[in-house]
Amino acid sequence: MIFLWLATLLPVLYWDAGPETAAVLQKAGITHIAVPPALESQWKRLKGVSTSVVDIKGLTEAPVPSIQRNLNEASATRRPWIDSNGWRFLREPKARFYTKAPGAAAALAAAEAFVFGVESFVQTDEAGLEPLRRMIEFLRQIEDLKLPERANIGFIDDGSEESGEIMNLMIRKNLLFRIVAAPDSSLDLNVRPGSKEYPVAGGFDPEATAQKIRSELTDARRFLRIYGSEVVIARIAGNQKQVRVYLLNYGGSSRSVSDVRLRVLGRYPRHRITMFGTPQVEPLDYVADTQSTELTIPKLTAFTVVDLLAGP
């Protein structure tokens, strides 16, 4: 069975203030917003800003995506913890989500929802309006190639909190999976939480479970590996002719990541990198052999799309 990953839904700015704030939106270049039902008639009388109506009470709230740097007492180093909504989006792909993201976080919230293919409304403050507008414009320009999703792992989600924790860690570790109703023999590995192989009772440790999944899959079979950063989450789609890699930098636009190396399974000698906020990007190095393709990106902003192509 072929699973098409359709990252085509564009996020929308949710704005709960009245038309007296129209000048603020226009200054940021905003031309379309979603408003609560109580404000529909007021905004309809105003020209220059089109509106749709949404009641956020009917939406699923998603936390603002970010990173936290927690002190590791054993090593006295700070290891980042990514707050990603990826697992929530995969668990409820048909839900409509709402995120309240101030400042530059609004742009990352929009990109995250786009990458995981869910309908999303982002509420932000005045500082976040322009970054959000620029991100939505960037997303609108990304061609939808309708490539099949690439995943090594089938995850049988029982809807439990434990399953959510495992999926969250798999997302953070870039262990590519899709949710399945039953084991899929076409995949390299199938994971059923609560089974003998992956118990969730008696001192459940999601970190150890994620590490076990990685070990049983083996790094050699992974479609994608990322070196040089712990704050970048990827999704990948493709076939033998073309692969597309979506890279989300949870450090945000103010914390670009340098010298991130990708290893993609398969030989793809041609490439194209499209990066938010950067007109043209070329890798520091590029090697495509019979087994894999490797490249180093000198700097990652909040969101990057890497297209790899086969052929001469």
For the chain, how many structural domains are there in total?
Answer: 3
- Confidence band of 257 (pLDDT split at 50, 70, 90): confident
**Per the domain annotation, does 5 fall within a domain?**
no
Of 74, 108, 140, which residue is a domain's last? 140
Q: What percent of the chain has pLDDT over 70?
A: 92
**Per the domain annotation, does 19 fall within a domain?**
yes
- One domain for residues 30 and 128: yes
Residue 57: count other Cβ atoms within 10 Å of its Cβ.
Answer: 7
- One domain for residues 35 and 62: yes
- One domain for residues 118 and 71: yes
- pTM for this structure? 0.92
Which tops the pLDDT comparison, 8 or 174?
Answer: 174
**Per the domain annotation, does 300 fall within a domain?**
yes
Q: Are 261 and 270 in contact (CB under 8 A)?
A: no
Helical spans, DSSP H, in 63-121: 86-91, 105-115
Q: Tell me the DSSP string of 10-31.
A: PPEEB--S-GGGHHHHHHTT--
- One domain for residues 184 and 157: yes
d(CA 124, CA 14): 8
- One domain for residues 166 and 119: no
Q: Are 252 and 232 in contact (CB under 8 A)?
A: no
Q: Are 244 and 237 in contact (CB under 8 A)?
A: yes
Of 165, 193, 221, which residue is a domain's last? 221
Q: Are 174 and 224 in contact (CB under 8 A)?
A: yes
**Per the domain annotation, does 148 fall within a domain?**
no
**Mean pLDDT, residues 106-110 taken together:** 97
- One domain for residues 35 and 128: yes
- Which of 3-17, 100-114, 144-158, 211-225 is least confident? 3-17
**Average pLDDT of every residue of the chain:** 91
Angle at 175 between CA 170 and CA 176, to 5 degrees: 110
In the predicted structure, residue 42 carries a pLDDT above the cut 60: yes
- One domain for residues 217 and 230: no
**Mean pLDDT, residues 219-238 taken together:** 95
**Per the domain annotation, does 206 fall within a domain?**
yes
d(CA 84, CA 115): 12
Helix (H, G, I), strand (E, B) or coil at 68: strand
**Per the domain annotation, does 177 fall within a domain?**
yes
In the predicted structure, residue 58 carries a pLDDT above the cut 80: yes
pLDDT at 1: 45
- One domain for residues 42 and 161: no
**Per the domain annotation, does 7 fall within a domain?**
no
Give the structural domain span for 259: 224-309
Tokens 């150890």 locate to 208
**Per the domain annotation, does 258 fall within a domain?**
yes
In the predicted structure, residue 2 carries a pLDDT above the cut 70: no
